[in-house]
């Protein structure tokens, strides 16, 4: 996974895992399978299991959720959604 400019890979805490799991549970329908890069498709339950294990896939999912929340909190997400390019 490519690191963001100026950032270091974070240690994933239990609180971060719980947050990512809560977001997945709330937003991903149980009958949906998502394709996650070269890892193939996964069910909601499989995604949650990877996060709980703390393996590489799980870490990437947590980091993705955190990046999204940071972009939303900073206003960058809204800026990108409303920009015309």
Q: Nearest CA to 24 among 56, 52, 53?
A: 52
Residue position matching structure tokens 């799980």: 58
- Asked if pLDDT for residue 5 goes beyond 70, the answer is no
Residue position matching structure tokens 């972009």: 71
Q: How far apart are CA 79 and CA 72, in angstroms?
A: 9
More confident residue, 38 or 5: 38
pLDDT in tens, 58-83: 999 999 999 999 998 998 888 888 88
Q: What SS3 state is found at 63?
A: helix
- pTM, to two decimals: 0.77
């Amino acid at each position: 996974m490519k690191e963001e400019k100026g950032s270091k890979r974070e240690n994933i805490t239990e609180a971060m895992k719980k947050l990512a799991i809560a977001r997945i549970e709330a937003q991903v329908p149980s009958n949906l399978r998502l394709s996650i890069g070269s890892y193939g498709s996964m069910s909601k339950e499989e995604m949650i299991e990877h996060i709980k294990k703390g393996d590489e896939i799980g870490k990437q999912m947590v980091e993705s959720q955190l990046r999204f929340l940071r972009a939303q909190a900073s206003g960058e997400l809204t800026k990108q959604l409303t920009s015309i390019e």
